[in-house]
Each structure stands twice: as C-alpha cells, then as structure tokens.
Chain A
Amino acid sequence: QKEVEQDPGPLSVPEGAIVSLNCTYSNSAFQYFMWYRQYSRKGPELLMYTYSSGNKEDGRFTAQVDKSSKYISLFIRDSQPSDSATYLCAMSLIKAAGNKLTFGGGTRVLVKP
C-alpha cells in the first residue's frame, strides 16, 4: 500500500462546476501538504501548500487538511477548461532544510466547455 493514495480519475465536470479532489495518507508525521498541477507533457507546478491542519484559500482554489483523518482536499470553484490537468498531492515531514516530497499518483481532471 502506498503512503499517499489518490483516485486517478478521470474526473470530468462541466465548466463552472466545483472540482473536488482528495488524498489520503498513512504517515501521521507528515506536516506540510501541497497540491501540484501538471499539464500534459509538462512538469508539475506548485499550486498551493498548507502547514498542518486547516484551510487555505487562493482565488478559486481552496485547500483543506484534516490531520485527524489523514485526509486532504483541494476544491476548484468556477472551473475553467484551462483547469484541465492532472492534480498531484504531495506531502513532507517537518525537517531542517531541503524538502523530500511524497506524491500521490495524481487525479486527471477534464473540464468540458
């Protein structure tokens, strides 16, 4: 069993809908939680990160972390066709420096016009 589990999708939604993505993890020592977006044939790029539990909002994106349930979520409001991509969650342990990430397998999202 992988340390970080993520439904591969694909998740298909109409334009304007809310996209809901999530990951579960097994290592309770993870402290930092990130979401990366990866367009086809490109490298991943950081969307958002949160530390420990709680919510964080950035424009149309909201990230939630529930450490008690070992569950993180990403919501995309008013989804656009340009949001069509693979979304990967990533996590890291608290540490002095450097940043070894453990990634989920990614969820492919398709926003239809």
Chain B
Amino acid sequence: DARVTQTPRHKVTEMGQEVTMRCQPILGHNTVFWYRQTMMQGLELLAYFRNRAPLDDSGMPKDRFSAEMPDATLATLKIQPSEPRDSAVYFCASGLGLAGTDTQYFGPGTRLTVL
C-alpha cells in the first residue's frame, strides 16, 4: 500500500530553534507539495516541486522557510528561526504530475508547536 510518509509526526520546539520536516513521496510520483494547515487560514500551499525542481514557492515566507528535494525520495521543509506563529500542521503531498486534474496523495502531517 503506497503512501506518503512524513517525519516527525509531532514536534515541540522553542522559538528561535531550527525545525526540519521530512517527506518521502510515493515512489514514481514526480510532483511534491508542502502545505500548512491552521484553524484560521485552512490549508495553504507553501511550495511545490516537479522532478525535484521548485515550481512555485510564493506561499512560503522566504526569510525563514526553505524547501528542497535532495533526491527523488526525500523532500525537506526547514524553518529557521521558528516562531510561535509557525505552529500548525504541515502536510506533504505527492502526485504523478499529470495534465489536468491529478490526485494529490497527502501524508499524515507533522504537527508543529513552537513555544
């Protein structure tokens, strides 16, 4: 049963610390998305990649957030320095990158709390 995996599932950290979240997309998927979900803002797209190249990171605060794909099996989202307003659930999703509509398969999320 292929699925997107994310680590860690939960992270509690103090303001100012670096946070790294990891995602393993489904094997064979060439498109990877990072989302952030909060009660106030809902599900927001932060960045997405196709064939490991960033296509759009306009939703990401660039001064503190960075997203990379070191290889086809790993995507990372880093926050440095973290702030309390970054507390949210961060989801990774992957897809086949087909034309038109394409199912995005979501991981279980990383629940981040910044104190």
Which A positions have Cβ atoms within 8 angstroms of B?
32, 34, 41-46, 49, 51, 88, 92, 94-106
Kindly state whether residue B12 has any CB partner on chain A within 8 Å: no
Chain A residues with Cβ below 8 Å from B43 are 44, 88, 103, 105-106
| Contact residues in A for B42 (Cβ distance below 8 Å) | 88, 103-106
Contact A94 B109 (CB under 8 A): no
Chain A residues near B34 (CB-CB < 8 A)? none
A65 to chain B, nearest CB (A): 12
In the complex, what distance in Å separates the CA atom of A61 from the CA atom of B95? 23
Residue of B whose beta carbon sits closest to that of A42? B108
Partner of A97, one of B99, B104, B105, B106: B99
Interface residues of B in 42-61 (CB under 8 A from A): 42-45, 48, 50, 55-56
Chain B residues with CB below 8 A from A43, complex form: 4, 91, 93, 106-109
Residue contact A97 to B97, C-beta cutoff 8 Å = yes
Contact call B56/A99, Cβ cutoff below 8 A: no
Can you list 13 A-B contacts (CB < 8 A)?
Answer: A32-B101, A41-B108, A44-B91, A51-B101, A95-B99, A95-B100, A97-B99, A98-B31, A98-B48, A98-B55, A99-B31, A105-B43, A106-B43
**Given A32-B100, A103-B44, 18 more contacts at CB 8 Å?**
A43-B91, A43-B109, A44-B91, A44-B106, A46-B104, A51-B100, A88-B42, A88-B43, A97-B50, A97-B98, A98-B48, A98-B95, A99-B31, A100-B48, A100-B55, A100-B56, A102-B45, A103-B42
Query: Are A99 and B104 in touch, CB under 8 angstroms?
Result: yes
Q: How far is the CA of A99 from the CA of B33 in the complex (A)?
A: 9
Most buried by A among B48, B102, B103: B102
A108–B98 CA distance with the chains assembled, in angstroms:
30
Cross-interface CB contact of B95 among A51, A88, A99, cutoff 8 Å: A99
Query: Mask for B1-40, Cβ within 8 A of A = 1, else 0?
Result: 0001000000000000000000000000001000000000
